[in-house]
Structure 1
Amino acid sequence: MYLSGLDLNLVLSLRALLEERNVTRAGQRIGLSQPATSAALARLRRHFDDELLSRVGGQYELTALGQALLDRTATACDLLERVFSSRAEFSAGSEEHEFTLLASDYAVAVFGAELARTVHAEAPRVRLRFQRHPTDVMEDTATLLSTVDGLLLPHGIISGFPAVELFTDRWAFLVAETNDEVGDRLTMGDLARLPWVTYQRTYDAPAARQLSMLGIEPRVEVSVDSFQVLPFMVADTRRIALVQRRLAERLAGVAAVRVLEPPYEAVPLQAALWWHPVHTHDAAHIWLRETAARVGAELSTSTPGHLATAAEGD
């Protein structure tokens, strides 16, 4: 089936019908009369050879195919909207625009705040919208990227999409100030023995996967969806947590924890901005990527500090 043989207006009708599950409301949503919407539904049924909407009692319910098409159609509409909103030129100083970026709270705190300051100074009518990326980001990355302007994520989690490098970071461990089981330095034995608090799924981060290669299987006691709550989950407990150095520096003093060097050569973190290829030649998106790269380069000039140990302080 070729696109040239399709009426792409039917995509809008399909989305409205599947989401509203009512011919009249679907027509009102997209500005069609009830007869025109019914005709569109008939064409869609012939195309898919499926009822899509089947009447059960006094209402419509989606067929199995209709349910499968529900999310795909929404994604297709979002992608078409982005394709046809692309522009050949973009004047950052005067144009109004909104960019949606998926990111963890770490990426927003460390990089997003700097990006927002730069955007405000150079493009006062441009808005940034940061949203938390889902835990299943690796499972259908193409669909996810097709609905937003970009994804802030380190290398080692996804691949196969264009990306621009932003900044590097190192890793540190959080230990409660009251945890007298740990001295001035962590040991590999400490990592194996003590309970952990982790961010979402333990092995999403390459640094955490590295531990498995070293023979350490973290004993996860608590899992959270925010890097910034890790210190509070560590304070006054036996737990330890692996956290990015730049974030640890920003969170210094918010909870009664110590920040210690890893007892192994932890692989560094290389943050990047990933995007769907549909954005590659869009002028507004090119400006966003260039601005993000510049902010990332400036951030990289401030290397996260080396943590002082008791021996170094003597």
Structure 2
Amino acid sequence: MSDKPSLARLDLNLLVPLDALLTERSVTRAAERLRLSQPALSAALARLRTHFNDPILARRGNTYELTPLAQRLTEYTSTALETARRVFESQSEWQADTSTREFTLYGSDYALSTVGAMVSRLASERAPGVRFRFMLHTPPIVEDAANRLRSVDGLLIPHGVLSDLPFDDLWTDRWVIVASATNARARAGLTMDDLATAHWVFTYQSMTAFTSATRQLQQLGLETMVDAVVESFIALPRYLVGTNRLGLVQAALVQSATAVGDVIAVEPPFDVTPLLNALWWHPSHRNDPEHTWMRALFREAGRLLETEHAST
């Protein structure tokens, strides 16, 4: 017989206040988030402390910090809540046009402003009750993708970063160099020597967070001088205006980057490796009909983007 406690003897309702307490690290803020009274949240915290034989929240001066156990519980709790949500949202005969399911995905601002926006538009026409929650990823999220994808529906990121996870290829883009309209070198056409001596603005720069284009610059032997790192492809061109810096953005963003007229786009003086954008997801979704529908919608959106940019 198993030594594990029976689920029937566990109060699973405590998962919700536990998640709020772990996230907010405050009884007051957790109560506000759940729209409960502070005494009710305090009672839930007392029961959680008894169950785990751990304070969960420990006072440090005027604030509270998570105990080591509470820090470990953070990932488990969000995963458990997401799994429970999926269990009770599942339907024997799922129909997209009547569903109210919410899909949650991580991506860069580039991914969210291109394929994310296209998917949202398609869904509004075919499944008006379906909701999408698009969230910006961070390097820690990408580094822990195998675990993060247990509690969300997907991660939008090009090939070259992840492996050993299911994926759907969406569309191919290319990298373009952007510069200030006052940058005389860029206006004349850049050479490899120009790239080697230029100052740059990068979107990511670490051992585990990088773009394929910046990695290719390194492989070409260029020791780039980086003046700023901004984790936003859409914001990057603003950091070039009035300077001689260079940056790299995807071709799909060039029109918006150059629309005002103070930024120009220049073709790189080397053969840049194409950018293959993909939707990555956890194997547990493989036989989920709702997730299958979502993936098909992303593939369609990718084809539409490919067609749009091929004609420009």
Q: Fold conserved (TM > 0.5)? A: yes
Partner of residue 160, structure 2 = 156
Select the residue among 29, 38, 52 that pairs with 1:44: 52
SS of equivalent to 1:251: helix
CA–CA separation in structure 2 for the residues paired with 1:145 and 1:302:
30
Partner of residue 146, structure 2 = 142
**Could you list the per-position Cα deviations for residues 14-64 of structure 1 after superposition, in whole angstroms to 9, with x for gaps in the alignment?**
663572777xx79x79xx99999866644433xxxx56567999x997543
Q: TM-score when scaled to structure 2? A: 0.80
Long gaps (5+) in structure 2: none
The amino acid of 1:204's aligned partner reads: F
TM superposition shift of 1:7: 2.5
From the superposition, tell whether residues 53 and 15 of structure 1 become closer, same or farther in structure 2 (CA, over 3 Å). farther
Partner of residue 237, structure 1 = 243
Partner of residue 65, structure 1 = 69
Larger Rg, first or second structure (1 or 2)? 1
From the superposition, tell whether residues 143 and 240 of structure 1 become closer, same or farther in structure 2 (CA, over 3 Å). same
TM superposition shift of 1:159: 1.9
Q: Is the 8 A contact 2:89 2:101 kept in 1?
A: no
**Could you list the per-position Cα deviations for residues 255-285 of structure 1 after superposition, in whole angstroms to 9, with x for gaps in the alignment?**
4122111111111111111122232222221
Q: Is the 8 A contact 2:15 2:81 kept in 1?
A: no
What is the RMSD computed on CA atoms of the aligned residues? 3.5
**Could you list the per-position Cα deviations for residues 52-105 of structure 1 after superposition, in whole angstroms to 9, with x for gaps in the alignment?**
567999x99754323332343233332333344333432112222222221211
Partner of residue 7, structure 1 = 7
User: Greater shift after overlay, 268-277 or 178-187?
Assistant: 178-187
CA–CA separation in structure 1 for the residues paired with 2:3 and 2:299:
36
Q: Is the 8 A contact 1:88 1:282 kept in 2?
A: no
User: In percent, how many aligned pairs have the same letter?
Assistant: 38
The yes-or-no answer on 1:130 pairing with 2:134 is yes
From the superposition, tell whether residues 188 and 90 of structure 1 become closer, same or farther in structure 2 (CA, over 3 Å). same
From the superposition, tell whether residues 10 and 256 of structure 1 become closer, same or farther in structure 2 (CA, over 3 Å). same
Partner of residue 286, structure 2 = 280
Q: TM-score when scaled to structure 1? A: 0.80
The yes-or-no answer on 1:177 pairing with 2:185 is no
TM superposition shift of 1:173: 0.2
CA–CA separation in structure 1 for the residues paired with 2:81 and 2:3:
14
Partner of residue 246, structure 1 = 252
From the superposition, tell whether residues 62 and 168 of structure 1 become closer, same or farther in structure 2 (CA, over 3 Å). closer
Q: Is the 8 A contact 1:102 1:132 kept in 2?
A: yes
CA–CA separation in structure 1 for the residues paired with 2:2 and 2:190:
61
Partner of residue 265, structure 2 = 259
Q: Is the 8 A contact 2:175 2:248 kept in 1?
A: yes
From the superposition, tell whether residues 93 and 261 of structure 1 become closer, same or farther in structure 2 (CA, over 3 Å). same
From the superposition, tell whether residues 217 and 41 of structure 1 become closer, same or farther in structure 2 (CA, over 3 Å). same
Long gaps (5+) in structure 1: 307-314
The yes-or-no answer on 1:206 pairing with 2:212 is yes
CA–CA separation in structure 1 for the residues paired with 2:221 and 2:64:
55
From the superposition, tell whether residues 176 and 21 of structure 1 become closer, same or farther in structure 2 (CA, over 3 Å). closer
SS of equivalent to 1:301: helix
TM superposition shift of 1:6: 4.6
Select the residue among 178, 184, 199 that pairs with 1:195: 199
